[in-house]
Amino acid sequence: MKIRHGSLPRSCVIFLWPLVALSGPAENASVPDEVTVLEPVFVEASSADPWIYFTVPGFEVISHCPDSFNQTYAQALKMATAARLAVLPASFWGELPTPMKIVLYNRRPEPREGFRRGSPIDLNWVSGDGGSVGSGQVVHSYPVTVGDGDTFINCGNYWEVRADNDDFSVDPDSDIRIANRVPRLPSWFAAGMEGQFGLYPNGIIRSTPFTSALILPSAFWISTAETIAVQNEAKEKHRDGKAVPPSRMLPLGDIFSGGLRTDRADLWNSEAALFVRWGLYGSGNRQDFLDFVDRASREPVTEALFRAHFGLGYAEVRARLDAYLPKAVSEPITVPLSVPLEKDLNFREASSVEIARIIGDWGRLEGRTLGMENLEYQRECLDQADRLFERIQRRGNSDPLFLAAFGLYELQVGDAVRARDALERATKAGVVRPRAYVELARMRLEDSLPSVQAGIGDLNEADFAEITGLLTTARVQMPSLTATYDLLARVLEHAPKRPDREQIRPLEEAMDLFPQNAALAYKLANLYGDLGLHGEAAAVIDRAMKFSDSDQSRAVLAEFLDKKAR
């Protein structure tokens, strides 16, 4: 068996343990003897100790935990979805082209030293460590989510679980869906929802499987000391009838512009979260607030636009936020839930293809997230993926989702021939995996361009048609995947002839989906400039500058203007 990255050290044994005992005699008979030097590693499931596969709407789960815990976890996923929709309507949550993958496994915590990362694969167990998600009754490593834009995999270790636990909560995808919503939501709204001081801090909407209400914790204002001070002032006002002194809030225009000094970041985040809380639960005009947020995702915020939705100006609403703050930091919010009906899950043994596709892809993605100082751990992750993918690939498996995952792995480790073959077969089969189309288009572009790229005329008509066809499919499958538009801009720079407006239109539409994306605006403006459309280029930069909500974005746009002036 081919292993590209060296044999596995024993330091990966904890993550691998659930699969070590899973290989049946028939599988072992086909594996060369030299594989024994890699022990312990992933092998495949058998009836003695299998991985279990089941689905929940929006999720695909592979588990090595008891069925009783799987039931609890599945119900928690359903409640997380219900909680998400209770907080915001469906139109505010981005769509994913494939279900989110969940990997559950159980392994007794063991002391470890050395590399420390809060991820399940290395298990940074130390005395007293043991973070939990929504429960003091479940001991596990912090679940970690990895992804590459179109696919996300959440992996966590659960040990000593209580299947009857009624205080267990999960939320693996709310932050991802906020980020993948198009048009892109304003940064102040995202911060108010899931930021440091947001409605659900740390990206978790806390719900429990056996209740019909969601509890959003009381607000946190700047710091613990500041929060307590506001709470105490509120108590004094209630006791003595005194007015609470106005807080030192920022002008609301500063919240929407996002341009703040670093030393005021906590104030900006606190006020953004307070405004979102007030808009949803304190203003009495929830729909007006939602309409304003949706409008702010499509055009720059001005005080006139603000007044059109609230009937009030910035200063008047700031005064209302001052008055709302004592209540916000003192009282949690209870949100009724529409509880989904419980149904028996269809548990079955996971197939070897599912094991390779999900856990192999997790190893691939986790193996690329770390810096140069963690090369040994990175090699371990990639070795896992290699073994799982190779075993299935040798059988000539034609499952499109597996081929897409395998092709992306081969591309990552540098085998362009095998990567292209797998991605070609996956995309021809119509796989729903936008990244596969983007990366195949990128490979074809690199193969088609001359070593010295001059510009218009570099690509022939056939190559141009094939590449743009792949990108069209990726764009339809997942409009929020920005890599599609970044690559399309480069393709149009080398089109066989001057692109027409119809060919440029997807990039123009992208600016409506990502109005705050200064880098994309820069690329489109450059393309306009190369085509002599200088008025259109200036208009793109001007619009992006109005939407810009960070100093970094403004610097990118200013660079274009400076370049044009010179």
pLDDT digit string (tens) for 107-166? 765 544 443 444 344 333 222 333 333 333 334 456 788 999 999 999 887 776 666 666
Lowest pLDDT segment from 223-227, 234-238, 327-331, 417-421: 234-238
Q: Which of 335, 255, 323 is nearest to 292 (CA)?
A: 255
pLDDT at 89 over 60: yes
pLDDT digit string (tens) for 387-440? 999 999 999 889 999 999 999 999 999 999 999 999 999 999 999 999 999 999
Distances, alpha carbon 437 to alpha carbons 62, 185, 424, 505, in Å: 26, 26, 9, 20
pLDDT of residue 140: 43
What Rg value do the Cα atoms of the chain yield, rounded? 26
pLDDT of residue 129: 31
pLDDT digit string (tens) for 314-368? 999 999 999 999 999 999 999 998 876 777 789 999 999 999 999 999 989 988 8
More confident residue, 47 or 73: 73
pLDDT digit string (tens) for 370-379? 566 667 777 8
Selection from 27-41, 213-227, 426-440 with the highest mean pLDDT: 426-440
Task: Classify residue 507 as left (phi > 0), alpha (psi -120 to 50) or beta.
Answer: alpha
Q: 16 falls in which pLDDT band (50, 70, 90)?
A: very low
What DSSP letter does each residue of 432-474 carry, written as one string? S-HHHHHHHHHHHHHHHS-SS--STTSS-HHHHHHHHHHHHHH
Mean pLDDT value of segment 79-89:
92
- H helix runs in 101-216, sequence order: 174-179, 187-194
The answer to pTM > 0.85 is no
Share of the chain above pLDDT 70, in %: 78
pLDDT of residue 265: 87
Distance between CA 321 and CA 323 in Å, rounded?
5
Mean pLDDT value of segment 24-45:
34
Q: 553 falls in which pLDDT band (50, 70, 90)?
A: confident
More confident residue, 2 or 396: 396
pLDDT digit string (tens) for 205-217? 777 666 788 889 9
Question: What CATH class is the domain 405-565?
Answer: mainly alpha
Distance between CA 372 and CA 330 in Å, rounded?
46
pLDDT digit string (tens) for 455-486? 888 999 999 999 999 999 999 999 999 999 99
pLDDT at 487 over 60: yes
Phi first, then psi, for residue 152 (nearest 5°) are: -130, 140
pLDDT at 84 over 80: yes
pLDDT of residue 108: 66
Selection from 192-206, 385-399, 443-457 with the highest mean pLDDT: 385-399
pLDDT at 496 over 80: yes
Angle at 162 between CA 160 and CA 168, to 5 degrees: 110
pLDDT of residue 565: 66
pLDDT of residue 168: 79
Spell out the domain ranges in the chain: 52-216, 224-331, 405-565
Q: Which tokens hold the place of 292?
A: 């304003």
pLDDT at 529 over 50: yes
Q: 514 falls in which pLDDT band (50, 70, 90)?
A: very high
pLDDT at 534 over 50: yes
Mean pLDDT value of segment 160-180:
81
The residues facing 348 across adjacent strands are 53
More confident residue, 551 or 463: 463
pLDDT digit string (tens) for 249-289? 899 999 998 755 566 889 999 999 999 999 999 999 999 99
Phi first, then psi, for residue 537 (nearest 5°) are: -60, -45
Q: Which tokens hold the place of 313?
A: 């100006």
